[in-house]
């Protein structure tokens, strides 16, 4: 009798679901779910990590949205960074994917070339781009000099620092987006193109009337993912300009880092984290909604 | 000759317009030639923009210090100074950084493969209460920015006395929703017949996972491993926050630290940078197809 019971337990889905899921779920709970809740609670307190924790209600959010001039600057910097990086990155990677989609020789070489920046660490990228942007010895100003333009001191120029970081970010993300587009392109059936050719459609007509509409779900997905990534940009800013000059490149994630680990304003930084979370959440929900409408 | 061409061929033969057909084919072929040439041009210009910074990195790593500041800039110095690579360890503890990174990355990769495949199998194949609710919760957290959990995790590590240890980097990375999702999607594609065969042979659910599903999941495991490897190897924010002692720094943090403190010896720093990229490049070259499959999979979930 006892043996049968043991056997039933040993062969039950529920038993093994519990056993197999437990390690994963514990990690998930301790390092993700609980911190998410704590972080939310912390956005309503004032705490410097060493002194007592003080409940301040909505003060952090009020300060953030109504009083903090730096936050306003940082918020618009983040929007600027995202609004430029994402569309340019998408158009370029789409064209690259279209070029790659033709049966060409050397596709392996091109794939590696475009993927090198994707797999490189930001510090490696930052070190070499700092040299390229160097106003005196850099490659960029040398080339500009050849056509008679005196280049600015890119990373320490209030106007040019952000575009300089945007260029690096686009450069680094191109290969990844291209790969997503390539997967999307290969999902479009040849039948449509053949039908269009029989009807006498040219290259542009095929591109505009077949590729673009049928690629729309992929494009939308790439756009949302790129935007979500861009809102969280930190490494590039921290390593190339540290938010400077004069906060010209300081973005949300960087300001959050400063508040938490340089000014030790844990509550305020948590409020910033939730602002960032909220923005990402909106984009995720839009994506989920579109996804459902396509599935129906 | 495919169908369409065959149809066209017959049409033109019937009309007695064979010469015209060949003219048209020639134009089409020419157009294809032009569009291919354009594709090559575009890809080559793009590829050179992609590659130049890396060539510059290698070039600088082989220069002498004063050649770095030569104007107009040259890709390579007068002679290739390979000895820069031997001098890395004189300047900063490159090997220490390298092994720190390697240790953390290997532990995290192994752990994620285990926890993700176990949980992925459970979500894909076992029936239990609240399964779909729980999985929805996993999915819902996939997009949560790391910044949201960073501060509480920092406080937790501080309470546990783990600040400035590798454990503070390893523990939060042991489990991810993404890995769980990736493995589940793969296990869903394995035919149910295999599972049934296992059951008939008297396998427990664990036996089915361990003897049938896990051995079949090599492509998924490889994909996940490459993804996690690259993510951990390049991770910067967490080491920046959790690690203070130089000897415990990971490679990216160590390079950033070195750049800040010894910014004088650029060629040697570049040599270290080049070496720091080698593992991920090798991993990518070896597992390129798996990596691309992983990217594609993450793209498919958007459609």
DSSP per-residue codes, B187-246: HHTS-HHHHHHHHHTT--HHHIIIIIIHHHTHHHHHHHHHHHHHHHHH--HHHHHH--SG
Report yes or no: B286 at the A interface, CB cutoff 8 Å. no
Q: Which two tokens stand for residue A285?
A: 């929900």
pLDDT greater than 90 at residue B18: no
From chain A residues 219-258, the ones with a CB under 8 A of any chain B CB are 220-222, 224-225, 228, 231-232, 234-235, 238-239, 253, 256-257
> Is B4 a residue whose pLDDT tops 90?
no
Residue A296: what pLDDT? 39
What's the average model confidence in pLDDT over B5-25?
61
CB B152 within 8 A of CB A260: no
pLDDT of residue A27: 92
Specify whether A228 is located in the same domain as A290: yes
Indicate the SS3 state at residue A146.
Answer: helix
**pLDDT (average), residues A157-165:** 92
Please tell me whether residues A117 and A31 are part of one structural domain: no
Point out the residue among B54, B69, B209 whose CB comes nearest to the CB of A20: B209
Helices A161-186/B18-61 angle, 10° precision: 140
Residue A227 to residues A77, A80, A223, A276, B144, Cα–Cα distance (Å): 14, 11, 6, 12, 14
User: What's the CA dihedral at B161, B164, B166, B172 to 10 degrees?
Assistant: 60
Q: Tell me: do A201 and A281 sit in the same domain.
A: yes
Instruction: Report if residue A49 sits inside a domain.
Output: no
3-state secondary structure of B241: helix
On whether both A8 and A127 belong to a single domain, the answer is: no
B130 touching chain A per CB within 8 A: no
A225, part of any domain: yes
Q: Is residue B204's pLDDT more than 90? A: no
Flag whether residue A167 sits within 8 Å of chain B, measured between CB atoms.
no
Same domain for A282 and A173: yes
Residue recorded with tokens 């729309």: A216
Out of A71-75, B61-65, B210-214, least confident range: B61-65
The tokens for B191 are: 């035919």
How high is the pLDDT of residue A19? 87
What is the domain count for chain A?
Answer: 2
What is the distance of C-alpha B148 from the center of its chain? Answer: 23
Residues A23 and A87 in one domain: no
Instruction: Please indicate, yes or no, whether residues A142 and A219 belong to a single structural domain of this protein.
Output: yes
Q: Give the residue with greater pLDDT, B240 vs B258.
A: B240
Residues A201 and A209: beta-carbon distance below 8 Å: yes
Residue A47 falls inside a structural domain: no
Inform me whether the C-beta atom of residue A129 falls under 8 Å from chain B C-beta atoms: yes
In a domain, A280, yes or no: yes
**The pLDDT value given to residue B199:** 86
Q: Which two tokens stand for residue B214?
A: 């896990």
Q: Is the pLDDT of residue B210 over 60?
A: yes
Whether A218 sits inside 8 A of B303 (CB atoms) is yes
| A271 has a pLDDT exceeding 90 | yes
Does A242 fall in a domain?
Answer: yes
Under an 8 A CB cutoff, do A124 and B43 touch?
no
3-state secondary structure of A55: strand
Chain-chain contact of A31 with B72 (C-beta, under 8 angstroms): no
> Do A66 and A184 fall into the same domain?
yes
The confidence score (pLDDT) of residue B302 equals 39
Closest CA to B115 of B156, B153, B160, B171: B171
Contact (CB, 8 A) for A265 and B151: no
For chain B, what is the mean pLDDT?
Answer: 84
Is the domain of A106 the same as that of A14?
A: no
Lowest mean pLDDT among A134-148, A161-175, A264-278: A134-148
Pairing relationship of beta strands A45-46 and A54-55 according to DSSP bridges:
antiparallel
Look at residue B33 in the predicted model and tell me its pLDDT: 76
Q: Is A255:A272 a contact under the CB 8 Å cutoff?
A: yes
Number of H helices, E strands in chain A: 15, 2
Residue A30 CB coordination number (10 Å): 16
B-chain residue closest to A193, CA distance: B4
Which of A35, A131, A238 is nearest residue B153 as measured by Cβ atoms? A35
Q: Domain span at residue A30? A: 2-37
**Candidates A19, A29, A31, A121, partner chain B, best to mutate (most B CBs within 10 A):** A121
User: What does the pLDDT average to over B155-175?
Assistant: 92
Q: Is residue A51 part of a domain?
A: no
Spacing of C-alpha A61 from chain mean position: 24
By Cβ distance, the residue of B50, B73, B146 closest to A114 is B50
In a domain, A256, yes or no: yes
Taking an 8 Å cut-off on Cβ atoms, the answer to whether A112 and B284 are in contact is yes
Give residue B116's pLDDT. 94
CATH number, residue A265: 1.10.3720.10
A147's tokens: 């056509």
| Residue A131, min C-alpha distance to chain B (Å) | 9
Same domain, A126 and A265: yes
B288 contacts in A (CB within 8 Å)?
111-112
ipTM: 0.86
A200 pLDDT exceeds 60? yes
Burial class (CB in 10 A: 0-12, 13-18, 19+), B46: buried
What pLDDT was estimated at residue B12?
Answer: 59
> How far does chain A reach from its first CA to its final CA, in angstroms?
52
* Among candidate residues A222, A237, A223, the one with its CA nearest the CA of residue A122: A237
A108 plus A6 within the same structural domain: no
**Residue with the two structure tokens 């080339």:** A143
A252 inside domain: yes
For residue range A28-59, what is the model confidence (pLDDT) as tens digits?
A: 999 999 999 999 999 999 898 888 888 988 88
Q: Does A288 touch chain B (CB under 8 A)?
A: no
Structure confidence at residue A189 as a pLDDT band (50, 70, 90): confident
Answer whether A226's CB lies under 8 Å from A90's CB. Answer: yes
A103 plus A241 within the same structural domain: yes
B56 inside 8 A of chain A by CB: yes
Confidence of residue B194 (pLDDT cuts 50, 70, 90): confident
């Amino acid at each position: 009798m006892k043996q049968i019971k043991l056997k039933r337990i040993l062969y039950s889905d529920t038993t093994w679901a519990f056993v197999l899921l437990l390690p994963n779920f514990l990690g998930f709970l301790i390092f993700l779910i609980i911190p998410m809740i704590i972080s939310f609670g912390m956005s309503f307190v004032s705490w410097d990590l060493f002194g007592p924790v003080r409940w301040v209600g909505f003060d952090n959010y009020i300060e953030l949205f109504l009083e903090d001039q730096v936050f306003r600057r940082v918020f618009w910097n983040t929007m600027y960074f995202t609004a430029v990086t994402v569309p340019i990155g998408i158009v370029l990677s789409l064209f690259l994917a279209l070029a790659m989609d033709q049966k060409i020789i050397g596709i392996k070489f091109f794939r590696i070339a475009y993927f090198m920046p994707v797999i490189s660490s930001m510090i490696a990228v930052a070190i070499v781009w700092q040299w390229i942007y160097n106003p005196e010895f850099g490659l960029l100003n040398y080339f500009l000099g050849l056509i008679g333009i005196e280049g600015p001191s890119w990373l320490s120029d209030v106007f040019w620092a952000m575009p300089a970081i945007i260029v690096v970010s686009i450069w680094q993300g191109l290969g990844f987006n291209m790969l997503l587009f390539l997967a999307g392109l290969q999902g479009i059936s040849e039948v449509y193109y053949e039908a269009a050719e029989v009807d006498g459609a040219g290259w542009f007509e095929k591109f505009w009337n077949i590729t673009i509409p049928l690629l729309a779900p992929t494009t939308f997905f790439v756009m949302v993912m790129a935007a979500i990534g861009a809102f969280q940009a930190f490494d590039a800013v921290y390593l190339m300009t540290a938010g400077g000059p004069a906060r010209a490149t300081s973005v949300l994630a960087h300001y959050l880092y400063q508040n938490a680990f340089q000014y030790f304003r844990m509550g305020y930084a948590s409020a910033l984290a939730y602002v960032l979370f909220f923005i990402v959440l909106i984009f995720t929900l839009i994506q989920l909604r579109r996804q459902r409408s396509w599935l129906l | 000759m495919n169908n369409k061409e065959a149809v066209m061929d017959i049409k033109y033969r019937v009309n007695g317009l064979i010469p015209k057909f060949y003219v048209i084919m020639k134009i089409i072929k020419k157009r294809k030639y032009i569009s291919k040439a354009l594709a090559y041009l575009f890809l080559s210009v793009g590829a050179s923009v992609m590659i130049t910074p890396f060539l510059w990195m290698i070039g600088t790593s082989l220069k002498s210090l004063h050649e770095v500041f030569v104007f107009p800039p040259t890709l390579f110095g007068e002679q290739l100074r390979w000895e820069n690579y031997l001098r890395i360890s004189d300047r900063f503890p490159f090997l220490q950084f390298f092994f720190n990174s390697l240790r953390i990355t290997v532990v995290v990769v192994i752990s994620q493969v285990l926890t993700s495949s176990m949980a992925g199998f459970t979500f894909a194949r076992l029936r239990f209460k609240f399964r779909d609710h729980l999985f929805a919760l996993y999915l819902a957290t996939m997009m949560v920015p790391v910044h949201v959990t960073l501060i509480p995790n920092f406080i937790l590590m501080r309470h546990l006395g783990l600040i400035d240890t590798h454990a503070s980097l390893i523990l939060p990375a042991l489990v991810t929703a993404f890995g769980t999702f990736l493995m589940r999607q793969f296990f869903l594609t394995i035919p149910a017949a295999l599972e049934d065969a296992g059951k008939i042979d008297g396998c427990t659910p664990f036996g089915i996972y361990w003897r049938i599903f896990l051995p079949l999941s090599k492509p998924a495991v490889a994909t996940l491993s490459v993804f996690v490897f690259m993510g951990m190897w390049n991770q910067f924010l967490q080491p920046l926050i959790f690690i203070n002692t130089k000897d415990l720094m990971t490679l990216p943090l160590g390079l950033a630290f070195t750049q800040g403190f010894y910014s004088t010896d650029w060629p040697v720093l570049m040599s270290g940078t080049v070496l720091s990229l080698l593992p991920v490049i090798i991993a990518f070259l070896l597992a390129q197809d798996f990596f691309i499959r992983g990217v594609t999979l993450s793209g498919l979930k958007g459609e």
